[in-house]
Chains A and B, each alone.
Chain A
Amino acid sequence: MTVLEAKHIEKHFGSVRVLEDISFSLEEGQVLAIIGSSGSGKTTLLRCLNFLETPDQGTITVKDELLFDAADPATQRESEIRRKRLHFGLVFQDFNLFPQYTALQNVTLARELMAKNEKTGESLEDIRAEGKELLAMMGLKDRMSNYPHQLSGGQKQRVAIARALAMKPSILCFDEPTSALDPELTGEVLKVIRSLADQDRTMIIVTHEMEFARDVADKVMFMDGGVVVEEGTPAEVFGNPKHPRTRQFLDKFSG
């Protein structure tokens, strides 16, 4: 089943075109890795999907529901966007944990607010129990009442992943989740993402970790200068890149 379908996404910052006619789709349980050099538009694409940027052109459809159409302002209403964006979860490069809350509170805050305001009928105990479960799954059982500044980068990022999972997104997005980490701490975060992939979570991962992308992804997209240069299975893109630009990029990594 197709979970996500993005069509003809285009985005300008002033006169600079950062995304040009991007179309792709994602099946349930698939992991899409987006690779490419800095400034290629990977992050902007992810931010468009999460409604942090508004595309100038194109449509975004999730599970047959048209979430966004650049040509139809009715799809861009503030109150609607709040509901729609919950289809997506986003893990940021620099974590963006809320410093004044404990690890557990970071995970449960949004759900608790939603239960209170929208009368979802969920009890706070259930939400907290679920939050604890998620943190345990991230290997942070004994870190739940720590504040972000008491955690290592890898632990922070795992809290951030638990926080995103707490909202039960259909598609979990990662924006260079290990780029702000020491090489030592990278492994623990990648391990968690790998286990999520094993659980057949639908994910989009923007990353510079080529080995990891090759391992974990079902589909790889190479972007350059705001366009998708090449798209295919990891074996196709990494093993037998067709486009010279892709080859040139990958050569730098195998160096």
Chain B
Amino acid sequence: MLWNVTTTLLGGLATTVEIFFLTLLFALPLGLIIAFGTMTKFTPVRWLCNALVWVVRGTPLMLQLIGFFYIPGILGLHIWPGGDPGRMMATVVAFSLNYACYFSVIYRGGIQGVPVGQREAGEVLGMTKSQIFFKITLMQMIKRIVPPMSNEIITLVKDTSLARIIAVYELTFTGFSFMKSAGLVWPLFYTGVFYLLFVGILTIFFNYLERKLDYFR
């Protein structure tokens, strides 16, 4: 029985891991774009980005998830493919946008934390704006944002369980299903072990990353 439950839960875990990595894949770069948007001197873009961050951080992710999945259909726009792929796509879009907004604030803090003198030193050496960003600012920003980002990314692992609300068969939903089908409660709590292991691996990775970036101060 334990073996049976474990293999079934591993199936759910695969979906959880998929949501996790796809969200990171889109949210990490999108967050940087939004961060630049909130820092630009061009007022309309700055307001738009600030409004986006406000709305996304100001409403529950679960609500956004439901909205992204159902509202297009209600409006007669059937943008999601049918069945599981559609649910998965809506999930990844909602998660990516949500996390990109949180990331953008962390990025902004990281960029603004790099002393102005670094940019000026690059300028007087005749570097272009993009050289200054990619060759000077970026690495210092990354070093600064590893601790807050690790928090956010670990939260993402557990937030994936919200996808259950639109019937995505992720880890928590899988554990829950044993209650209905077999009257078993323990598989649901057993999922906690999987989350713990996942977060444990991430913690080791982030510690490694912090140590890797310790070569400069």
Contacts and interface: CB of A to CB of B under 8 A. Distances in A.
B124 A89 contact: yes
A98 B121 contact: yes
B211 interface: no
Contacts of A109: 125, 135
B128 A82 contact: yes
Contacts of B112: none
The range of chain B's interface size is 20 to 34
A88 B125 CA distance: 9
B161 to A, nearest CB: 38
Interface in B141-173: 143
A91 B123 CA distance: 12
Nearest to A94: B117
B110 to A, nearest CB: 14
B131 interface: yes
B217 interface: yes
B217 A113 contact: no
A114 B124 contact: no
> DSSP class of B's interface residues: helix, strand, loop or mixed?
helix
Contacts of B143: 100
B131 A96 contact: no
Interface string A42-74: 000000001110000000000000000000000
Interface residues of A, number: 29
B42 interface: no
A110 interface: yes
A86 B217 CA distance: 28
Contacts of A92: 117, 120-121
Interface string A128-144: 00000000000000000
Contacts of A147: 215-217
Interface in A91-130: 92, 94, 96-101, 109-110, 113-114, 117
B133 to A, nearest CB: 12
B217 A52 contact: no
A109 B121 CA distance: 12
A5 B139 CA distance: 39
* Closest 9 pairs between A and B when the two form their complex, measured CB to CB: A110-B125, A96-B121, A96-B117, A149-B217, A99-B216, A90-B124, A100-B216, A100-B139, A86-B126
Interface of B: 115, 117-118, 120-128, 131, 135-136, 139-140, 143, 215-217
